[in-house]
Amino acid sequence: MGWCALPLLLAVAFMALALAENPSQIQDTNVTSPISNVTNVANVTSSTPTRAPWAVPTTAGAEAPSNSSSTSPTPPPPHLPSPGPSTAPVSGGGGERHITPSLLPASLPTPSRNPAPDPSSGPTTNSSPDPSSGPTTNLSPAFSSDPFKSTTLAHNITTTATGGNGPEHDDTAIIAVMVALSSLLVIVFIIIILYMLRFKKYKQAGSHSNSFRLTNGRMDDTEPQNVPLLARSPSTNRKYPPLPVDKLEEEMNRRMADDNKLFREEFNALPVCPIQASCDAASKEENKEKNRYVNILPYDHSRVHLSSLEGVPDSDFINASYINGYQEKNKFIAAQGPKEETVNDFWRMIWEQNTATIVMVTNLKERKEVSWCGDIRTRLLSPVPHTHTLALERLRNCPTADWRHTLVMCKCAQYWPDQGCWTYGNIRVSVEDVTVLVDYTVRKFCIQQVGDVSGKKPQRLVTQFHFTSWPDFGVPFTPIGMLKFLKKVKACNPQYAGPIVVHCSAGVGRTGTFIVIDAMLDMMAAERKVDVFGFVTRIRAQRCQMVQTDALLEHYLYGDTELEVTSLESHLAKLYAPSPGAGCGGLEAEFKKLTSIKIQNDKMRTGNLPANMKKNRVLQIIPYEFNRVIIPVKRGEENTDYINASFIDGYRQKDSYIASQGPLQHTIEDFWRMIWEWRSCSIVMLTELEERGQVTEWTGDGADGLSAKVTERTGDGADVHTEKCVAYWPRDGVMVCGDMAIELKRDEECESYTVRDLLVTNNRENKTRAVRQFHFHGWPEVGIPTDGKSMIDIIAAVQKQQQQSGNHPITVHCSAGAGRTGTFCALSTVLERVKAEGILDVFQTVKSLRLQRPHMVQTLEQYEFCYKVVQEYIDAFSDYANFK
């Protein structure tokens, strides 16, 4: 507003100066008023001066004056000459002007306006001014009685000096100057007041400019829907601007350097409380017990309002807030995990908000490590639950100087029945279906309001997606599971439904992570860029370390690789076609992405200890610390808890497999101790004791500096047999290995494998268990099996055994526990999903295996074999319904 008033202020200022300079002209009606000249000056200062169509063209600073008589409009004089190219400088009150000399008609006389001026009359006006006489006004030519000529001649007035016209001033001029100055002061004062009021209002609302104002928890429906909610302000000046997706990998690597230094800086730069908002409702005494954490409270302007219960004060409160998606208002409700006393309110919110999907990203109970040393009594970070205040106070009084302990903390109350139905307040919840998968569980509920005598109130289907792969400490080691989980949620949420309710324990960390990933995937699709920092700031949620950025990079690098079983054939045709610009087929290009996965050698500490090196058959394949199989330590012996074996996740449950190397002679006892400790009742052996004709070469092509290449042995070494595994079972009778005794009970030859039933006895515990070994003979010494039927048969036999023995881990081994072992685990997982969902994802399955154990599915041939077996399995069914 101040800038808009600037031309007006300049105009008033020039008016005052002009009046002070020529007050005598005010009373002369035959002379062009200085006000018209002032108006012309004001027009010059304006950005777009107005001019009549017939006006005399002028150069910079000159404008055609209007006639002083206002009785009738004056037509343009026909005799006005065209302006010449040259100009003459003229001094004025506002600076130097230029007027065109050629506008003066040469034929007109130039008499003085006052032929006999009185020397004492003040300002002198003549055609030949005396330089020493002070300010003068030259009129050239003489003023004419012709109004047209008067207008024309007045146009050529030249001001030669600034200042007053003498010591004597007319009273009218003084009044005009005072009025002008007073008006100027009033205008300036009003502008200052308005500017201060606007600045104060902007300061109060400025922090709210990036968030939507909510009325009773609802967004204003009149706001345009086609504008991305992320587009709030230009991001060019931000320290952490949006990232183009093609630079995401490079930026990820840069920020992860030096132990994630730049990521930590970015996280610390996130505003803890980006807006000044109240939490009055959550802070009321009646509602304090409804909050799980004392420092995680919903804002009043965005909290979810429940319908009030009659006679129950503040019954409209629940610790939950509306959160926007990328382009969708109120797409989510971020809530805390229900407490025992708020479960009824939780289901009331589900009903009133017409929610069809609940996303749960916490387990009911999780471990939390508490430690103190000396005067530092506790390092348990906020948020702090009310329920743990007393327990922590007791621990603080513990006399132990250096103490560490792991607490089991309740993260969320179970707000659903395990089976049957249960009533929560006025909402009846019945379980319709439960599907348990490796990363998440899907529960389907039927809910209905009770107390409806007519029975006309409809039932609703609510689906809960419970993500169970979030570890107690830290974040998931791979984003693959979260991406699958998110895709399932997006696909299953109906369009007609209300907001998706997302909750963890506090409703900020993991909840915010899920919401950010969802929004950024939508932003990637729409704008080809991501803005994690900006979005996290706007939704006022905490960001849990860097998992959301990992997930975005995962999606960008590998995309969506899931396939319907009906589209596998066409997908394979594309994979066998040459990949443009890659110089190889699509299948090989896909496998190269897998070999680019960096092997984390720094996370193989135990396997690389000198005492354990001799226990590894292949030094390039050592288990990671996070999932290595630990066996009991022998009394009085160090480093006896190690064996070269890794836990591997399956389709429906974690640690479904134990991927192990073939036992060495001095690790047979460790192998059987592992079988006993982890109650493994099924062993799959994918190699012969000795094989010939092939050799594994390790080259420097992989991301870890090593890549496996299996080639056929030629020349004199073609008949050389190499030990792949030792016989860890008796051919007859009993084999004793330390405290373990193994007895062969049955040995049966099948079409492509041998089944051996073994009885394992732990002499120290005086207990026995039955273990079945499946020894596969269909894998040739060089290459891969000729068909997939034999592999399908042994997988089916193992799964049948598992159903009878209790679904404990399946121990799978070849020689090194990577190539054939990984292929078996991949096929078993993929085929199980094909049967359950009619969906397959060979790429992500193998990728997940390689993240759990190095070099799983070792060669391109083995990777291609996975696709062929799945295709053969699908072809064996003529009706898609057979997969269900």
Catalytic residues: 504, 814
- Name which of 833, 802, 798, 850 is nearest 652 in CA terms: 833
- 670 assigned to a ligand binding site: no
Chain centroid to CA 546: 10
Q: Give the C-alpha separation, 93 to 21, whole Å.
A: 9
Q: Give the C-alpha separation, 576 to 570, whole Å.
A: 10
- Name which of 415, 406, 393, 387 is nearest 293 in CA terms: 387
- Name which of 274, 267, 266 is nearest 210 in CA terms: 274
- 198 assigned to a ligand binding site: no
Contacts of 648 (CB under 8 A, 6+ apart): 627, 655, 656, 657, 658, 659, 825, 849, 852, 853
- 508 assigned to a ligand binding site: yes
* Tokens read off for 564: 């319907």
Q: How many CA atoms lie less than 13 Å away from 390 in the CB half-sphere?
A: 1
Contacts of 636 (CB under 8 A, 6+ apart): none
Q: Give the C-alpha separation, 339 to 515, whole Å.
A: 22
- 869 assigned to a ligand binding site: no
Q: Give the C-alpha separation, 320 to 336, whole Å.
A: 7
* Tokens read off for 402: 């250096």
Q: Give the C-alpha separation, 584 to 587, whole Å.
A: 8
- 548 assigned to a ligand binding site: yes
- 472 assigned to a ligand binding site: yes
Q: Are 607 and 622 in contact (CB under 8 A)?
A: yes
- 421 assigned to a ligand binding site: no
Amino acid occupying residue 309: L
Chain centroid to CA 771: 48
- Name which of 815, 788, 783, 812 is nearest 799 in CA terms: 812
The backbone torsions φ and ψ at residue 97, rounded to the nearest 5 degrees and listed phi first, read -120, 170
Residue 103 is classified by DSSP as G
Q: Are 332 and 320 in contact (CB under 8 A)?
A: no
Q: Are 530 and 520 in contact (CB under 8 A)?
A: yes
Q: Give the C-alpha separation, 203 to 196, whole Å.
A: 10
- Name which of 782, 803, 798, 796 is nearest 862 in CA terms: 782
Q: Are 319 and 300 in contact (CB under 8 A)?
A: no
**Max CA pair span of the chain:** 149
* Tokens read off for 699: 């080259």
Q: Are 137 and 122 in contact (CB under 8 A)?
A: no
Q: Terminal CA-to-CA distance of the chain, rounded, Å?
A: 69
Q: Are 431 and 419 in contact (CB under 8 A)?
A: yes
Q: Give the C-alpha separation, 493 to 476, whole Å.
A: 24
Q: Are 181 and 13 in contact (CB under 8 A)?
A: no
Give CA separation, 774 vs 60, 195, 568, 791, in Å: 100, 85, 30, 12
- Name which of 370, 368, 387 is nearest 472 in CA terms: 368
Label residues 781-801 b or e (16+ Cβ within 10 Å = b).
beebbeebbbbbbbbebbbeb
Amino acid occupying residue 281: A
The backbone torsions φ and ψ at residue 628, rounded to the nearest 5 degrees and listed phi first, read -70, 150
- 506 assigned to a ligand binding site: yes
- H/E element, 711: strand 707-712
Q: Give the C-alpha separation, 245 to 249, whole Å.
A: 8
The sign of the torsion formed by the CA atoms of 732, 737, 741, 745 equals negative
Q: What are residue 90's DSSP bridge partners?
A: 97
Binding residues: 472, 504-510, 548
Binding residues for substrate: 472, 504-510, 548
